[in-house]
């Protein structure tokens, strides 16, 4: 257990061999998956075979200047429909198929529209920009966003989810849904299933490294303003039980007890040594504790070095707010192109 606001426990304290790290990683993973709760049916947070993805149904198709946009729907393991955009470049793929990216949206009632349509907000249209660079892109709505707002509810309201699944968590559900998205993406004949990455801002940013920590098909991660630490966070219960989007309700009790079952750099460490690009704004009003964030990312940097993958980890800080500015996006896209190269 971690003492809230106490000293951060180094990732590699007492770790001198790869076997020792793998044992610690296994313990961290087990603890993390337990915290995600109990789904209505067994979920091991592992990919399904492509043939088991169930396929998808095309709702609409639009030809843009440089790509085709399909609005599709497929189903989660629990049977609920997942609405998504599938963007495919007009240019023919290289041998083996397009490199592909799962584009996870930030907190916005528009969900996938924000990252895939020209009407999306400035500095959020990373799905659209990536298909223009030759990537196949799948951008699903997460629960309570876009086309997945519960009937009769406002966006971001997870109360109906917890009424249906009181022993599970919204984070566990999102993670399960993202794995299903990778099932769909990797089953496409146009896609190189060995060259799949994930990108996201804020909510989509931390969901990206959550996913990379459990799904080995993810070969690169870009997270914009999606990493934080409990230490120094003025609103740590953002992760617990709230009147709106409640990520992991049990965290509220942990905070009240003054101890936590993990710190966020420990969960991000589950993705190592997958190539990871982290961007953090030092004037971010959502995650303002940039000094503690820098300490956590420093621990991750040390882990990547220990694993012989120092070139696979990049983190950038700048005097920006909760945003994904153009120059950082260009660095992020170049990172994906390099790490997902054939």
**What is the arithmetic mean of pLDDT over 239-245?**
97
How much is the pLDDT for 45?
A: 66
* Structural domains present in the chain: 2-339 (3.40.50.1820)
Rounded to an integer, what distance in angstroms lies between the CA atom of residue 78 and that of residue 126? 29
Would strands 2-3 and 259-260 be described as parallel, antiparallel, or unpaired?
antiparallel
Percent of the chain with pLDDT over 70: 94
- Per-residue pLDDT tens digits for 147-176: 999 999 999 999 999 999 999 999 999 999
User: Lowest mean pLDDT: which of 16-20, 94-98, 115-119, 137-141?
Assistant: 94-98
**What is the arithmetic mean of pLDDT over 304-327?**
98
Question: Hey, how many other C-beta atoms are within 10 angstroms of the C-beta on 333?
Answer: 20
- Look at the alpha carbons of 129, 98, 87, 322 in this order and tell me if their dihedral is positive or negative: negative
Reduced to 3 states (helix: H, G, I; strand: E, B; else coil), residue 107 is coil
Reduced to 3 states (helix: H, G, I; strand: E, B; else coil), residue 314 is strand
Give residue 52's pLDDT band: very low, low, confident or very high (50, 70, 90): very low
Reduced to 3 states (helix: H, G, I; strand: E, B; else coil), residue 66 is coil
Give residue 342's pLDDT band: very low, low, confident or very high (50, 70, 90): low
Predicted structure pTM score: 0.95
Q: Is the pLDDT of residue 65 over 80?
A: yes
Give residue 283's pLDDT band: very low, low, confident or very high (50, 70, 90): very high
How much is the pLDDT for 49?
A: 52
User: Lowest mean pLDDT: which of 91-95, 194-198, 239-243, 272-276?
Assistant: 91-95
Which of 301, 39, 57 lies closest to 179 in space, CA to CA?
Answer: 39
Beta-carbon contacts of residue 253 (< 8 Å; ≥ 6 apart): 240
More confident residue, 247 or 40: 247
Q: Is the pLDDT of residue 50 over 80?
A: no
Q: Is the pLDDT of residue 47 over 80?
A: no
Kindly report the average pLDDT of the chain as a whole number. 94
């Amino acid at each position: 257990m971690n003492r809230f606001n106490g000293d951060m426990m180094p990732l590699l304290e007492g770790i001198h061999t790869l076997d020792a790290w793998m044992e610690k990683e296994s313990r961290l993973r087990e603890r993390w998956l337990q915290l995600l709760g109990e789904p209505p049916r067994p979920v091991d947070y592992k990919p399904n075979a492509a043939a088991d993805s169930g396929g998808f149904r095309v709702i609409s198709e639009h030809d843009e200047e440089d790509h085709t946009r399909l609005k599709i729907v497929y189903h989660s393991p629990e049977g609920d429909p997942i609405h998504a955009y599938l963007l495919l470049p007009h240019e023919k793929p290289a041998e083996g198929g397009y490199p592909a990216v799962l584009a996870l949206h930030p907190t916005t009632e528009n969900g996938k529209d924000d990252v895939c349509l020209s009407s999306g907000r400035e500095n959020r249209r990373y799905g659209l920009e990536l298909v223009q660079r030759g990537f196949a892109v799948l951008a699903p709505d997460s629960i309570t966003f876009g086309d997945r707002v519960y009937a009769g509810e406002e966006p971001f309201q997870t109360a109906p989810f917890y009424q249906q699944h009181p022993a599970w968590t919204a984070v566990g559900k999102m993670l399960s849904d993202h794995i299903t998205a990778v099932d769909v993406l990797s089953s496409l004949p146009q896609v190189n299933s060995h060259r799949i990455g994930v990108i996201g801002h804020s909510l989509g940013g931390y969901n990206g490294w959550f996913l990379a920590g459990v799904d080995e098909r993810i070969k690169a991660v870009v997270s914009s303003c999606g990493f934080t630490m409990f230490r120094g966070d003025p609103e740590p219960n953002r992760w617990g039980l709230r009147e709106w989007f409640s990520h992991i309700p049990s965290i509220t009790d942990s905070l009240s007890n003054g101890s936590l079952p993990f710190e966020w750099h420990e969960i991000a460490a589950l993705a190592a040594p997958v190539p990871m690009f982290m961007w953090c704004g030092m004037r971010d009003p959502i995650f303002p504790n940039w000094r503690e964030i820098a300490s956590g990312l420093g621990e991750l940097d040390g882990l990547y070095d220990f694993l012989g993958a120092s070139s696979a980890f990049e983190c950038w800080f700048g005097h920006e707010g909760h945003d994904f500015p153009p120059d950082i996006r260009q660095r992020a896209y170049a990172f994906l192109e390099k790490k997902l190269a054939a």
